[in-house]
């Protein structure tokens, strides 16, 4: 639905927010996409939302509640009668259900558990036990299984009994008597096959899977790489314990990219204040202050280098004019190289074993950039500098000095930018901690040293 149609629809729903038209509104909300209904209800007061939500089907209630943000979920939970809320909770997608349960404190969990069925209670406790950032923490138990010795007709009947959600019905996982996965069949396989033929005839024995304690980002990358609707999650014994769907993978990738971007820009990530508008100014301050202050202190080194060579700047004032250009160009070159390497690492295009090839490739790129920028810098100095202000120093020598220093700085900055993520990865750190501000500060310091060293060598 486009934005205009969605806006018209919500305005229509707003017009139905009167007691006389409540039945019509409930019917409209029941038929509409869950995401749009959740967005509409989130704009209402929590009391009004609960009143409307409980009049929808229990399946729809769970799906809608899962779409609300954490803060609104908490408000509704505290407001709702726990017995009524248990119905909503029980019909949430299992992965979302476990996430919500984990965010409750011990007392709130204890208040909710007595109202849950044994199956839901065992499911949510089991899923909540897996460490965060693992496949187990994001997997769902919303899937269908069938024994490998069944016929196609029996498999279809079992599928009806398990009744997985619509988005999880594409794959039926085939297991043995001990729940060890031996393959899968697709819904298309079942539809096209003869009802009386053995299921083994349609079985796909080669399948992609993940282990329950595998990193969730690696799982998301597998789903993306192989274009899967869902991926089975197995324990160490090869037993099927859950699945991770494509939309869970998209959410993981989105969250990891956000974290990488924040780290790369020198911002300390904080999941509790991930929403920009909801976080206070002081919370944003706390996320950024450590890096900025640290790099500010490190920046004193650049000042010391400049102070040491102030006599040189006093004798040839034109050199001071090009200090910002040297620093900015070096920072840009380093950040570019770091961004390319971090992206390639995150996509699995390169590994640490490729480090020499990476450095050589970036060095080649840097040399080409340096040659091009040398010409530009040389011409810029000739065009903008006054011959008179250079006194006894040949303007061509000064232009050559600035161009050469800029070229060396670009090569140096590019290699530093490409190396820092690899070094972080080598020490089991996050490559994104090689943050843009850090790179800028480092290349500023080395750039000043290069600049004045070249100037002293060429001009004196």
Domains of the chain: 3-129 (1.25.60.10), 144-245 (3.10.580.10), 281-459 (1.10.357.20)
- Spatial neighbors of 31 by CB under 8 A, at least 6 apart, are none
Q: Are 27 and 60 in contact (CB under 8 A)?
A: no
DSSP tag of 134: B
Which pLDDT does position 159 carry in this prediction? Answer: 78
Q: What is the mean pLDDT of residues 57-78?
A: 89
Q: Count of residues for the chain?
A: 460
And the tokens for 5? 């149609």
Q: What is the dihedral of CA 79, 82, 84, 88, to 10 degrees?
A: 90
Cα(411)–Cα(327) distance, integer angstroms: 13
Per DSSP, the residues of 186-252 read EHHHHHHS-TTSBGGGG-B-----EETTSBHHHHHHHHHHHT-SEEEEE-TTSBEEEEEEHHHHHHH
Identify the band that residue 314 occupies on the pLDDT scale cut at 50, 70 and 90.
low
Which pLDDT does position 437 carry in this prediction? Answer: 62
Q: Are 236 and 211 in contact (CB under 8 A)?
A: yes
Closest by CA to 359, choosing from 421, 430, 440, 451, is 421
Which pLDDT does position 267 carry in this prediction? Answer: 47
Which pLDDT does position 404 carry in this prediction? Answer: 94
Which pLDDT does position 273 carry in this prediction? Answer: 45
Class of residue 295 by CB neighbours under 10 A (exposed 0-12, middle 13-18, buried 19+):
middle
Sole residue written with tokens 């920072």: 331
Within 13 Å of residue 417, how many CA atoms lie on the same side as its CB?
Answer: 33
- Spatial neighbors of 134 by CB under 8 A, at least 6 apart, are 212, 213, 214, 215, 216
Q: What is the mean pLDDT of residues 318-329?
A: 81
Strands laid side by side in the 230-234 sheet:
210-211, 230-234, 240-245
Identify the band that residue 392 occupies on the pLDDT scale cut at 50, 70 and 90.
very low
Class of residue 46 by CB neighbours under 10 A (exposed 0-12, middle 13-18, buried 19+):
middle
Cα(430)–Cα(337) distance, integer angstroms: 16
Q: In whole numbers, what is the pLDDT of the chain averaged over residues?
A: 80
The lowest-confidence range among 302-311, 324-333, 356-365, 394-403 is 302-311
Q: Are 230 and 184 in contact (CB under 8 A)?
A: no
Which of the residue ranges 138-142, 168-172, 403-407 has the most confident prediction, judged by mean pLDDT? 403-407
Which of the residue ranges 239-243, 265-269, 433-437 has the most confident prediction, judged by mean pLDDT? 239-243
Phi-psi region of 267 (alpha: psi -120 to 50; beta: other; left: phi over 0): beta
Within 13 Å of residue 47, how many CA atoms lie on the same side as its CB?
Answer: 0
pLDDT tens-place string over residues 255-307: 776 666 555 555 445 544 455 566 667 766 766 666 666 656 666 666 666 66
Which pLDDT does position 190 carry in this prediction? Answer: 87
- Report how many helices (DSSP H) and strands (DSSP E) the chain contains, helices first: 23, 6
Of all residues in the chain, the percent with pLDDT exceeding 70 is: 79
Cα(438)–Cα(443) distance, integer angstroms: 9
The reported pTM is 0.53
Q: State in Å, rounded, how far the first CA of the chain is from the last one.
A: 71
Bridge partners of 140? Answer: 243
Residue 230 has pLDDT above 90, yes or no: no
Cα(172)–Cα(155) distance, integer angstroms: 8
The lowest-confidence range among 89-93, 137-141, 264-268 is 264-268
For 427-456, b/e burial (b = at least 16 CB within 10 A) is eeebbbbbbbbbbbbbbbbbbbbbbbebbe
Sole residue written with tokens 């390497």: 341
Cα(385)–Cα(69) distance, integer angstroms: 59
And the tokens for 278? 């909801």
Cα(60)–Cα(31) distance, integer angstroms: 10
């Amino acid at each position: 639905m486009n934005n205009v149609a969605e806006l018209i629809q919500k305005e229509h729903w707003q017009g139905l927010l009167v007691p006389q038209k409540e039945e019509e509104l409930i019917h409209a909300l029941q038929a509409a996409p869950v995401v749009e209904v959740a967005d509409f209800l989130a704009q209402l007061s929590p009391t009004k939302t609960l009143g409307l939500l409980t009049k929808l089907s229990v399946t729809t209630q769970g799906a809608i509640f899962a779409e609300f943000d954490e803060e609104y979920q908490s408000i509704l939970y505290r407001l709702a009668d726990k017995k009524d809320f248990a119905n909503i909770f029980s019909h949430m997608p299992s992965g979302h259900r476990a996430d919500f349960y984990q965010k409750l404190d011990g007392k709130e969990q204890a208040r909710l558990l007595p109202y849950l069925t044994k199956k839901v209670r065992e499911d949510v406790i089991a899923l909540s036990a897996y460490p965060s950032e693992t496949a187990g923490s994001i997997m769902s138990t919303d899937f269908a299984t069938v024994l490998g010795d069944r016929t196609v007709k029996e498999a279809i009947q079992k599928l009806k009994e398990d009744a997985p959600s619509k988005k999880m019905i594409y794959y039926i996982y085939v297991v043995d008597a001990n729940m060890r996965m031996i393959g899968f069949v697709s819904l298309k396989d079942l539809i096209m096959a003869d009802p009386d033929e053995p299921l083994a005839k349609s079985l796909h024995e080669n399948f992609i899977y993940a282990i329950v304690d595998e990193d969730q980002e690696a799982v998301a990358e597998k789903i993306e790489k192989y274009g899967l609707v869902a991926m089975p999650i197995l324990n160490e014994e090869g037993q099927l314990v859950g699945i991770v769907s494509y939309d869970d993978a998209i959410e993981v990738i989105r969250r990891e990219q956000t974290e990488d971007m924040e780290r790369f820009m020198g911002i300390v990530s904080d999941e509790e204040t991930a929403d920009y508008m909801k976080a206070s100014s002081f919370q944003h301050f706390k996320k950024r202050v450590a890096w900025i202050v640290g790099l500010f202190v490190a920046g004193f080194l650049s000042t010391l280098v400049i102070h040491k060579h102030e006599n040189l700047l006093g004798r040839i004032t034109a050199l001071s004019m090009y200090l910002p250009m040297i620093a900015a160009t070096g920072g840009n070159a380093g950040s570019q190289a770091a961004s390319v390497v971090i992206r390639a690492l995150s996509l699995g295009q390169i590994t640490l074993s490729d480090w020499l090839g990476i450095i050589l490739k970036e060095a080649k790129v840097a040399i080409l950039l340096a040659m091009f920028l040398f010409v530009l810098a040389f011409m810029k100095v000739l065009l903008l500098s006054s011959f008179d202000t250079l006194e006894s120093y040949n303007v061509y020598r000064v232009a050559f000095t600035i161009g050469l220093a800029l070229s060396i700085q670009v090569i140096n900055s590019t290699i530093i930018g490409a190396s820092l993520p690899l070094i972080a990865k080598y020490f089991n750190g996050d490559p994104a901690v090689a943050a843009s501000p850090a790179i800028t500060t480092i290349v500023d310091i080395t750039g000043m040293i290069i600049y004045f060293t070249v100037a002293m060598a060429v001009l004196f």
